A = this chain, B = another copy of it.
Amino acid sequence: MGEYGQFCPVAKAAEVLDQRWTLLVIRELVTGSTRFNDIHRGVPRMSRSLLSKRLNSLVGEGLVERREGDHGPEYILTPAGQELEQVIEVIGSWGIRWPGHLSDHDLDPALLVWDMHRRVDPDAIPPRRTVLGLTFHGVTPEERDWWLVLEPEAVDVCEHDPGFGTDLHLETPLHTMVGIWRGELGWNDAVRSGDLRFEGPSTLRRAVPTWFLLSPFATVERPPANRPDGRT
């Protein structure tokens, strides 16, 4: 990769943003992750060595500052980097409207759960610790079961049963949950169609849809008919 040899601002920006994975790393930083491992959880399929390299590049280009925090290194967006939030927003808004539908390979449960964990509305969840169990269909056995430990101060993701009881359990094909996450169908639609099932007290069941803020792009308006085959 590299340079374009153009004075055009679009070209100069592209020289930075074009690089594979760079836009997604920036998305993570814009989202608020600052620690290496947190950033990596947002781009799990990126090798750690490449992530390291990209972060260094971003520091060199003045978009990111690396700080030695009390608990280890932190990566913070500089003013130049912060302004890329606009870019992420516009690209994401386009990206949910137009590109073709998702392949199975795009449906990564680890990523979904990680996303869910950081879009919890602390004011909506119960005041005391609540464990939400998740079971996805259509995935490998290791990716089937997840737990979210919800507390107003912090939310944790577990790949194994945390052990102190599950208050509510949710079971659904992965693509249905992703569809909900992307705003392509509502919680209730999924329940009514039988694709999504809860197990647990009905007060909790009814409350779940308020707990999660969904994808930041879920509310982007969709084109009337963007698919030749008529699918929405």
**Mask for A1-44, Cβ within 8 A of B = 1, else 0?**
10111111111111111111101100100000000000000010
Q: Is A143 an interface residue (CB 8 A)?
A: no
Of B4, B20, B99, B102, which contacts A13 at CB under 8 A? B99
Residues A108 and B7 in contact in the complex (CB < 8 Å), given A61-B99, A83-B98, A86-B90: yes
| Alpha-carbon gap, A217 to B98, bound state (A) | 26
- B95 lies within 8 A of A10 (CB): yes
Q: How far is the CA of A81 from the CA of B95 in the complex (A)?
A: 11
The interface residues of chain B lying within 8 Å CB-to-CB of A56 are: none
Rounded to whole Å, the gap between the CB of A46 and the closest CB of chain B is 8
**Are B83 and A94 interface neighbours, CB within 8 A?**
yes
Q: How far is the CB of A58 from chain B (nearest CB, A)?
A: 12
User: Which of chain B's residues has its CB closest to A179's CB?
Assistant: B7
Contact across chains for B86 and A14 when beta carbons are under 8 A apart: no
Residue A148 lies at the interface, judged by CB distance under 8 Å to chain B: no
A84 within 8 A of B: yes
Q: Is the CB of A87 within 8 A of B97?
A: no
Interface positions, chain A 218-232, Cβ under 8 Å from B, are: 220, 223, 226
8 A–B pairs (Cβ distance < 8 Å), ordered by A: A3-B106, A8-B24, A8-B115, A9-B220, A10-B27, A13-B91, A80-B97, A83-B98
| A-B contacts besides A5-B108, A10-B95, A14-B95, 10 pairs, CB < 8 Å | A4-B106, A6-B45, A6-B108, A7-B107, A7-B181, A10-B24, A12-B106, A18-B18, A80-B98, A80-B223
Query: Which chain A residues have a beta carbon within 8 Å of chain B's beta carbons?
Result: 1, 3-21, 23-24, 27, 43, 45, 61-63, 79-80, 83-84, 86-88, 90-100, 102-103, 105-108, 111-112, 115, 178, 181-182, 215, 217, 220, 223, 226
